[in-house]
Amino acid sequence: MIDALTLDQMRVLLAVAEAGSFSAAARRLGRVQSAISQSIQTLEATLGLTLFDRSSRTPALTEAGQAIVKDARIVLAGAKAMRARAESIAADVEPELTIAIDAMFPTPLLMASLEALRREFPELPATVFTEALGGAEQRLRDGAARMAIYSPPPNDAGDLNTQFLTRIALTPVVAADHPLAALPGPLGRDALEPYVQLVLTDRTDVTRNLQAGVIASRIWRFADLATRLEFLLGGFGWCNMPLHMVESHILAGRLKRLVIAGRPGVELPLYIVHERGRRLGRAGRWLIDDLRNRLRTCPGAHQRADGHGPDTPDLVA
């Protein structure tokens, strides 16, 4: 008998509970009072419970009725969400937006764009993975992410569709009180080699074995940029960092930018990547457009797409 429950019965139940009487509920729903009474009686028979105490002039919820009203609210809210989800899918909006993003991408900009996405698509569930090095591609290939933003290696397989998004400026830096900060530049390998290099490493198989770009004989490895930044500020060594993450520290005198001989400005190209043949939905396309607009005014991010950027190994360090 429980299968005989209907959403309409639950709506009537809530209307009576909120309006305080069958007649008031009938006026709210635009029905006759007898139809409201019949709906509640059918619901009580289906559940095998008395939901209203009718011993007084005004019906009052029983203890069981109060519990069922709470459940009815949850069911109706779920049905409303399901209907909104179905309408979104029918309008070319993804059932869920899952995206993996390289940790080099500016976090404040990403947060602002995701907040705008939430306002534009309030019913859309979204999941965001922030990953270092090969982590974003791994999420994409594992099927955990529908699209990703990262720098594909030069020998990337042709099963992925890539579209240029931006370039993130990287700069070599060291703590202001580190011995390297006192040396005149440009600095050659012989000047850098004795000091600890803070290296960003990878926990995936995508770029795990890359060693190029490592100059120092002593290295400390880090799986995330935030921790590496803390050790950088603590004076433990030097490394390349995204300019947008360290610019305020440079201006405040906590970090010093290093000039390395033979190395012009380094930029990490980031691409929008998704499976070839799997079209992005309307929400994904909206998010990409919003990110592009915000990147135009982001320090350390450049929109030109000329060239192929630095080799990925140089960015490990």
Q: Does 61 lie in the same domain as 202?
A: no
The single residue listed with the structure tokens 């607009």 is 293
Single residue among 31, 66, 90 that ends a domain in this structure: 90
Cβ atoms 127, 98 nearer than 8 A: yes
Q: Does 293 lie in the same domain as 228?
A: no
CB burial of 118-144 (b: ≥16 within 10 Å; e: otherwise) equals eeebeebeeeebbbbbbbbbbbbbeee
Q: Does 153 lie in the same domain as 280?
A: yes
Q: Does 281 lie in the same domain as 247?
A: no
Q: What is the identity of the amino acid at 309?
A: G
Single residue among 90, 117, 134 that ends a domain in this structure: 90
Cβ atoms 296, 180 nearer than 8 A: no
Q: Does the residue 315 lie in any domain? A: no
Torsional sign, CA 156, 158, 159, 165:
positive
Q: Does the residue 135 lie in any domain? A: yes
Q: What is the identity of the amino acid at 181?
A: A
For the chain, percent of residues with pLDDT exceeding 70: 83
Residue 307 pLDDT > 50: no
Domain count, the chain: 3
Residue 102 sits in a domain of what CATH number? 3.40.190.10
Cβ atoms 235, 164 nearer than 8 A: no
Q: Does 271 lie in the same domain as 152?
A: yes
Residue-number span of the structural domain to which 273 is assigned: 97-166+267-307
Q: Does the residue 316 lie in any domain? A: no
Residue 207 sits in a domain of what CATH number? 3.40.190.290
User: Which carries the bigger pLDDT value, residue 311 or residue 202?
Assistant: 202
Interval 99-125: pLDDT, tens? 999 988 998 999 999 999 999 888 788
Q: Does the residue 40 lie in any domain? A: yes
Q: Does 74 lie in the same domain as 40?
A: yes
Strand locations in the chain (E): 52-53, 60-61, 97-102, 126-131, 147-150, 160-175, 197-200, 219-222, 238-242, 255-257, 266-275, 301-302
What value does the mean pLDDT take over residues 123-136?
A: 84
How confident is the model at residue 180, as a pLDDT? 93
Q: Does 217 lie in the same domain as 142?
A: no
For the ranges 12-21, 61-70, 93-102, the lowest mean pLDDT is seen at: 93-102
Within 10 Å of residue 249's Cβ, how many Cβ atoms?
18
Q: Does 255 lie in the same domain as 111?
A: no
How confident is the model at residue 114, as a pLDDT? 93
How confident is the model at residue 20, as a pLDDT? 86
Q: Does 229 lie in the same domain as 183?
A: yes
Q: Does 49 lie in the same domain as 187?
A: no
Cβ atoms 225, 104 nearer than 8 A: yes
Q: Does the residue 75 lie in any domain? A: yes
Q: Does 247 lie in the same domain as 258?
A: yes
Interval 194-249: pLDDT, tens? 899 998 876 655 544 445 467 777 889 888 888 999 999 999 999 999 998 999 99
Q: Does the residue 317 lie in any domain? A: no
Single residue among 90, 124, 147 that ends a domain in this structure: 90
Q: Does 141 lie in the same domain as 71?
A: no
Q: Does the residue 125 lie in any domain? A: yes
Q: Does the residue 313 lie in any domain? A: no
Among 142, 164, 139, smallest CA distance to 151 is for 164
Interval 249-270: pLDDT, tens? 999 999 999 988 877 677 888 9
Interval 48-76: pLDDT, tens? 889 998 888 888 899 998 999 999 989 88
How confident is the model at residue 101, as a pLDDT? 92
Flag whether the pTM goes above 0.85.
Answer: no
pLDDT confidence bin for 21, thresholds 50/70/90:
confident
